[in-house]
Structures are given as structure tokens and as C-alpha cells.
Structure 1
Amino acid sequence: MGFEEDALLAESGLIIAPDPESARLTRTITGTDQTGAARDIRIVEERPLTIFLNSREIVTTMTIGDFPDYLALGFLKNQGMLRPGENVTAIDYDDELETIVVRTDQPTDFEEKLAKKTRTSGCAVGTVFGDMMEGLEGLTLPATPVRTSWLYALARTINTMPSLYLEAGAIHGTVLCREDRPLVYMEDVGRHNAVDKVAGYMVATGTDAADKILYTTGRLTSEMVIKTALMGIPVLASRSGFTAWGVEIARDVGLTLIGRMRGERFMCVSGEERLVRDADPAAVAAEDPRSRRKGSRD
């Protein structure tokens, strides 16, 4: 499937996502439960992927192995390593060597940036090269209105749609949405990887960010807020909670930040003036405990 076809699928309302039945992304193991009874369970795979930019090795990340092209593109974009006007000429993925090479029409010169690494609070430990705040100075996101009816509908749909999490657990999801409709759904062992896959999809397909909502099952930390802002997405929502720096950055750049979305409840800590409260919380159905996602207890 090519990038253009992916874009048409997403625009038509079909979700680009891991196949929850994929034998490549999960395996079955036998363990014993609390009673000592033997039981087969499914668990997610994780494998290394080394990302190169032209001839320069950038990073090795642990991933479930799907959509390596989107993951590499999104990681490089969110790290500020794909510059405005720079064209990606080829993406070469080698499954056996577990490497992917993103080739561009400009030389790679990020030695100073690569010399400074920040280990972030991202699960599976995220890495940011250079200044974490690079690209945020002077950034103001569009003041896109958000209807609460969209939020309730998205939470209900995403919470129950087929996923690796519901099959095997131990994984995060990130969904690119427009209004009350999920467009692109990505999962990975690290929430930052799932976000980077969505970012890579947007780069590859030229997706407009101004009318989009990014939904994640992960915590709303500084890293998650920064990545969302750099992607140009004006709304970030999550099942989980916040960190103080994440809230501060969201308020500085005009990002609508909504967390602790469970059933009829949510908390908006940035962009309250952009919420259109068109749904009665008392009319929202309670979540089915059998389909609760990661973050429901945060």
C-alpha cells in the first residue's frame, strides 16, 4: 500500500492500524494463573529498529515492527531533523537487518544536535535530541473549537475498536481524529512511538493538522505536548493525567489539553474557552469495564 492510497483510506473513514490478529505482532505463551492453572495468553512482540538519516545512524528504538516508514519519518520530523523544504527521496527498509534509511536531497549535519540527549518521561524511555523546546518559540496553534459531543463519541469508539491492546495489553494507542471520527489509529509499546507513527503518516500524505484532534492513551507529559504542537495539531486528549510542565507548555502555545477522559468525565486544563459544551454528561453511557484502556486508573 502506498502513501497516497493510505491517505484515501483515512479520508474515507477507514482506520489504518495494526491488525490485532497479526501473528507477526504478537505471540502466544503459556503461563500459570493465580490458582496454578496453565493458561495461554497473547503478548506483544517488540524488536529493535535502527533509523538512519542518509548515511548517519540516528537512533535505535524498540517497536512492535509495523509501519516502520511512518515511525522513521515521524521521529525525524518531531526531532527537527526534516527541515522545511527538504524532500524525502527514498525510504529503504531492511526487515532482516532491522534498519530503515530515510534519504533526503540535503546533506545530514546534526552532530551538535545529536551530542545532546534528553531521556524523557515517555514509557519505554523516550529520547529527545538537542533542545526540547526547539521550534516552539513564537508558535501559536489555531483556535479550533471542540465540541464535547465529539469527545464523548471518540472515547466510546476508540475504547471498543479492535486493537492489539484489547488482545494482548502492554501497549499504547494514538489516534488522529477529525471532529467525532477516528482517521488513523497507531499502536506501539511506547506512546512516543505511536505518536511518531501518526506524525509520519501526516508528513507522507500531506495531511492538514489545523482541524484535527490527537487522542492518546498515554500521560500528557511535556514530550507529548511538544510533539503535538510541532505537528500543528490544536487539540490533544487522553484517558490519562497531566504533568505540570506539559500543562504550562500547552497554555503557552494555545493547545487545547483534555485528560482523564472516562465515561462522562474529563478535565480540560488548557483551551477551556474553545470547548463547545453541546452534550449533557448525564446522558453519556458508563464505560464497559471489559473494554477499558490503559490509563483508566491514572
Structure 2
Amino acid sequence: MNARAPFAGVGDETFALASSVPASSWHDGLIEDGSELLAEEVPVALVFNGISHAVMLASPQDLEDFAVGFSLSERIVRAAQDVREVEVEAGPHGIALAIDIAPGAMARLKATRRARLGQTGCGLCGIDSLAWFERETELDDPRDGGVHETGSPFTPQALQRAMAAMAGQQRLHQATGAMHAAGWADRDGHLLLVREDVGRHNALDKLVGALARAGIDAGDGFALVTSRASFEMVQKAARAGIGLLAAISAPTAMAVRLADRAGLTLAGFVRGGRHVVYTHPRRLRPDAVAHGT
């Protein structure tokens, strides 16, 4: 039943990105039996130096990016260079990401490790107290890269151009209708990186990892997400040094407060030639000089 082509899984192993399932569709009173292509979500264990740290439900592609981005977003490592190797190990029940991190990073992880079970759409799984929540919402940790100013402001046209281009690069979403995406665009709004996943948090982690692995300064452009902007999406962007996060849907009030504290420009409802800026509008100026067409 797995639809392995064109959505191949991990190497020659058992995991496809999408599967065809029997389904009946109803339209204008008519019922038609057929099949539907559905996105897969697979348990992915993140194992650091032999110690299992988290199990997330994720789409089984761009997993090396996911490993690096998760490690950075969770402050397990301070830099991508602290992730020395990632091995993708597929088994009968899921995928294990064997992540080899530097000794210093492993020492910090052991000091703060807690049991976590991640689910798609869950940003605080495994946090067992309000004290943990307070820690997770802090952005002034010395390990955080923080948001910094780089270059001139972005134009609203660049923001709209990038979001309009997102749909054309969401190949899995076009096929299944069930995927989130996170993208990164340059100052002219040219979309250079897109990562997809059934989980919006995972998609952003994959994007952060892709930027870090490519050696791209995240502050030289801006990030876009095809979801609402919750506080943890803002948190991940700020920790990656992204100065502008644009969401196709609304933010939460907590996300706005966090973005304001972090110095991050947060825009929502970015679609159809419209957007709303909630924090630090200095990075989005109609009179900013575009760098290209």
C-alpha cells in the first residue's frame, strides 16, 4: 500500500513519505470509491551519543537537517559544528537518528535532560512543571545566538513575493494536503530553502538545520511558515538568529510578547498582498531599497 514513488522513503528501507489508502469521496451528492494519497508520520528517535533523548512524530525526509536543527533549537549544541555526525538508522518500528555531539555538549545535555515524548503540533511535550515552562520561554540564556541586526530593512514586496512562492515548492503538501512548510528567503524575497513536515515545529527545525549545515547566516534573510505563529515557533526562530518570522496565519498573544522581548519582527496573515506586523516593524519598511527584481 505504500506509494514509494515519487515519494521514496529512507534509502531502501520501509518508510515512504506518503501512502495510498482506500477512500470514498462525496461531491454534490455523488459517492466515488477510489484512493487517496496520505502523508506518513513516523516515530523518529533522537539519540545523542547513545542516549535516547526524544521521540518525535515526523515526516521521514531531510532527517539530517532535523537532527541539527533540533539540537540547535533545544540548545543541546551551541553551533552546528558541535554535531559531528548523524546516522539515520531505519528499523521496523521507526527511525533512530544517532547523533554524535561534542563532549561539552553532551555534558550539558546530561545536566538538563528530561524524558520527552514529542507529537506533531505539540510544543511543550515532556515539560512537567511551570518552572520548566518558565525556563523554556527564556531567551537570554548565554547559549542563545539571539536576534541581531544585519543589513537594511526588508520591503513588504519581498515578504509577499516569498510567501507567494512557497506553495510551488511544497511538493508533498500538493500531493497530500497535510504538510506544513518552513522557508527561508533572501532580502529580495527569493525563496532559497524550503523544508516540509507533518509537524510545523519539525519543519522549522529542519529549516534551521539546513541553514546551519549550509553555513548561511539566518539573519541575512527571513523565515516563513505555513502555519500559525505560536510561541515555540518564535522561540526557535529567535534562537537561530532569524530577525523576521512571517506566518501565513495568525500568531498567539504569547508569541507576540515573546517576539517583542526577543527583538524579533513578527508578521502574520501574510497572504494575498496583505500582512500584519505585530512587533519591531523597523525591519519591514515600504521605502526600503530592494536589492534586485
TM-score, structure 1 normalization: 0.79
Q: In the alignment, what sits opposite 1:106?
A: 103
Q: In the alignment, what sits opposite 1:64?
A: 59
Q: In the alignment, what sits opposite 1:176?
A: 184
Contact 1:20 1:164 in 2 (8 A): no
Q: Deviations for 1:101-148, whole angstroms, at most 9, x for unmatched residues?
A: 11123152334422386989x715554765213443584432651101
Q: Take 1:147 and 1:193, find their aligned partners in 2: how far apart are those partners?
A: 28
Q: Take 2:169 and 2:87, find their aligned partners in 1: how far apart are those partners?
A: 32
Counterpart among 77, 100, 107 of residue 72 in structure 2: 77
Q: Take 1:134 and 1:256, find their aligned partners in 2: how far apart are those partners?
A: 17
Q: In the alignment, what sits opposite 1:286?
A: none
Contact 2:45 2:55 in 1 (8 A): yes
Alignment of 1:143-292 (within 5 A): 145-179=153-187, 180-277=189-286
Q: Take 2:275 and 2:195, find their aligned partners in 1: how far apart are those partners?
A: 23
Q: 1:72 to 1:85 in 2, by over 3 A?
A: closer
How far has the Cα of 1:63 moved from its partner?
Answer: 1.1
Secondary structure of residue in 1 paired with 2:88: strand
Q: In the alignment, what sits opposite 1:29?
A: 21
How far has the Cα of 1:87 moved from its partner?
Answer: 2.9
Q: In the alignment, what sits opposite 2:13?
A: none
How far has the Cα of 1:218 moved from its partner?
Answer: 1.4
**Superposition RMSD in Å:** 2.7
Secondary structure of residue in 2 paired with 1:21: coil
Q: Deviations for 1:234-257, whole angstroms, at most 9, x for unmatched residues?
A: 010011101111101111121111
Q: Structure 1: which amino acid aligns with 2:41? A: E
Q: Take 1:85 and 1:195, find their aligned partners in 2: how far apart are those partners?
A: 16
How far has the Cα of 1:225 moved from its partner?
Answer: 0.4
How far has the Cα of 1:213 moved from its partner?
Answer: 0.6
Counterpart among 125, 140, 150 of residue 136 in structure 1: 140
Q: 1:125 to 1:274 in 2, by over 3 A?
A: closer
Q: Structure 1: which amino acid aligns with 2:162? A: L
Q: 1:125 to 1:169 in 2, by over 3 A?
A: farther
Q: 1:72 to 1:135 in 2, by over 3 A?
A: same
Secondary structure of residue in 1 paired with 2:45: strand
Secondary structure of residue in 1 paired with 2:60: coil
Q: Structure 2: which amino acid aligns with 1:25? A: L
Q: Take 1:64 and 1:173, find their aligned partners in 2: how far apart are those partners?
A: 11
Secondary structure of residue in 2 paired with 1:103: strand
**Aligned residues between the structures:** 260
Q: Take 1:103 and 1:49, find their aligned partners in 2: how far apart are those partners?
A: 16
Q: Structure 2: which amino acid aligns with 1:106? A: P
The answer to which of 209-218 and 270-279 deviates more is 270-279
The answer to which of 27-36 and 54-63 deviates more is 27-36
Q: Structure 1 vs Structure 2: percent identity of aligned residues?
A: 24
Gaps of 5+ in 1: 1-18, 280-298
Q: Structure 1: which amino acid aligns with 2:257? A: E
How far has the Cα of 1:151 moved from its partner?
Answer: 1.3
Q: In the alignment, what sits opposite 1:95?
A: 90
